[in-house]
Structure 1
Amino acid sequence: MMIQYQPINLVMGPYGSGKTTFAVSLALEIAKREKNVTLVDFDTVNPYFRSHDYKSWLEDNNIQLISTNFAGTNLDIPSISGGLVSCLQDIERYIVIDMGGDDVGAKPIGGYAEFIRSRPHMAFVLFNQYRLIPDYLEQVHQIERESRLNITHFVNNSNLGEETTWQEIENSILPAKEMAKQLGITFWGTTAMPSFQQHNIFPLVKHPFLW
């Protein structure tokens, strides 16, 4: 599929929806076409699994990483380097922001919302039918309120990890489109491992830290 992206791309969604895998995959796809790409690890809530863990691998793929000041430690204080501000101001740079889950994880980005809204951007929300939380709709609305940003694109990221079959992906497409319709958000597409690329999906990167 021909991916759509903007200079600023935010990845949002409840815990378990697969934000980090999608954010890294999106950054890699953008890096195939653009020279200056930065992945911002803005997950200030979950200190145990974040993009900081594979910084050298990202750099090998020409992607700069900016992460919370305390990433890789057992501290969990919402703090991020001033590098984010300079990246947002760099009109020649493409940015993917991997945000924390739920409204608590979305709140820190709100401080940058006014500037983000002033520039071309996309805000993706992820959906995984096989890890769907009961209050998914309300949590998406809470993420929008706390981030002070409108979600623009809906991503069907339904999977069961490496055990996922094409039938399971196919069965998730209609429910995902219905959920996007309920939210009034543009349906962007469906993700899957590269082995399903012939089905016109967005390929997720396979990496030990992600699966």
Structure 2
Amino acid sequence: MPVDMRLFKDLIQRYEWPKAIAVTGALGSGKTEWVLNLALGLKTTEEKVTIADADIINPYFCIRQVVNALEKKGFTVLTAPGQAKWADMPVVSAEVDWALSSPGKLMIDIGGDAEGALALKQFQKRIIQAGYLLVLVVNAFRPQTCTVEKIELMCRRMEEICGLKVGALISNSHLMNETTVETVTEGYQLVQNAARRMGLPLLYVGTSPELYEDTVKALAGERVPVWPVSRYMLLPWEPGAIWATGFPARHHAGRIFREKGQSPFQNLGRGIPPENF
């Protein structure tokens, strides 16, 4: 379901945005989709937007998948140089420092979970000088952020690791294709409670474009704007995903999972078999 970009423009203009907007969240939160959606929103205001891939946690599900498409839309995309962009190691482009001094906004995609915030440590002083907002995207149905206490703990751990302060939350509660309006509103209540406890603003409530109108009606008494989150990232096993064909080959993604002792299905919303996607 296509989204009218005028809606993105209206939503993004509700706030004043600093030079650098860093977005993070637990694995499965949807934080990379939010980087792309916010970047598209900023672009509707004629703002020059640079997107930096600083995901040192999950190299098989990140901005690197969609670099060509983003560049065709007029974004400048910063990734690690050469084949290092596909390495399962903490490599972040030094051009982030350059982007902090260049015109326009800088969107930074940070790896999932608190440890992903380590990518910001090397740029801490420059980011503070330039002005920043560190946003935590929360899916209330992920085990790392399923209570107010766990959300607060993740914020504090991120701040300790990167030396920056979380400045806002986004509620992006979902169960993939099993998401309902009730899923979104239930998650919103939890994230709103966490935001109030920490004294942080809740910028948006995310929902799918298909559920957007019903979600707006369900949250009509609330003051938080609803954002129809368009999906641009593909899961590693979905047709068209960079991990399914081409380089890196499918076996390379499988190798990474095996070396980590992980299953490629473990980072999904709870209780959703892969055949339902």
TM-score with structure 1 length normalisation? 0.89
In structure 1, C-alpha distance between the alignment counterparts of 2:211 and 2:58, rounded to whole Å: 30
Give the structure 2 partner of residue 68 of structure 1: 80
Give the structure 2 partner of residue 164 of structure 1: 179
Query: Residue 33 in 1 paired to residue 45 in 2?
Result: yes
Q: Where in structure 2 are the equivalents of 1:3-152 lying within 5 Å?
A: 3=12, 4=15, 5-69=17-81, 70-71=84-85, 73=86, 75-90=87-102, 92-133=103-144, 135-152=150-167
Query: Residue 179 in 1 paired to residue 194 in 2?
Result: yes
User: What secondary structure, in the 3-state scheme, does the structure 2 residue paired with 1:2 have?
Assistant: helix
8 Å CA contact retained: 2:55, 2:119: no
Residue type of the alignment partner of 1:22: W
Which aligned runs of 4 or more in structure 1 are off by greater than 3 angstroms? none
User: What secondary structure, in the 3-state scheme, does the structure 2 residue paired with 1:54 have?
Assistant: helix
Give the structure 1 partner of residue 206 of structure 2: 191
Over the aligned positions, Cα root-mean-square deviation in angstroms equals 1.9
**Aligned equivalent of 1:206, options 203, 215, 231:** 231
Residue type of the alignment partner of 1:138: L
- Computing the radius of gyration from Cα coordinates, the structure with the larger value is 2
In structure 2, C-alpha distance between the alignment counterparts of 1:102 and 1:207, rounded to whole Å: 21
- Ranked by relative contact order (alpha carbons within 8 Å, sequence separation 6 or more), the top structure is 1
Deviations 1:100-130 (A, max 9, x none): 1223211121121111112232111011111
User: What secondary structure, in the 3-state scheme, does the structure 2 residue paired with 1:118 have?
Assistant: helix
Give the structure 1 partner of residue 5 of structure 2: none
Identity %: 24
Assess, with a 3 A threshold, how the Cα gap between structure 1 residues 53 and 38 changes in structure 2: closer, same or farther: same
In structure 2, C-alpha distance between the alignment counterparts of 1:197 and 1:33, rounded to whole Å: 22
8 Å CA contact retained: 2:151, 2:194: no
User: What secondary structure, in the 3-state scheme, does the structure 1 residue paired with 2:133 have?
Assistant: strand
Assess, with a 3 A threshold, how the Cα gap between structure 1 residues 163 and 188 changes in structure 2: closer, same or farther: same
Deviations 1:152-209 (A, max 9, x none): 1111010112332222112222111101122232111201122344314112122352
| Deviation for aligned residue 1:49 | 1.0
Count matched residues: 208
In structure 2, C-alpha distance between the alignment counterparts of 1:15 and 1:187, rounded to whole Å: 20
User: What secondary structure, in the 3-state scheme, does the structure 2 residue paired with 1:6 have?
Assistant: coil
Query: Residue 2 in 1 paired to residue 11 in 2?
Result: yes
In structure 2, C-alpha distance between the alignment counterparts of 1:207 and 1:12, rounded to whole Å: 17
Deviations 1:76-103 (A, max 9, x none): 232222321111111x221110001223
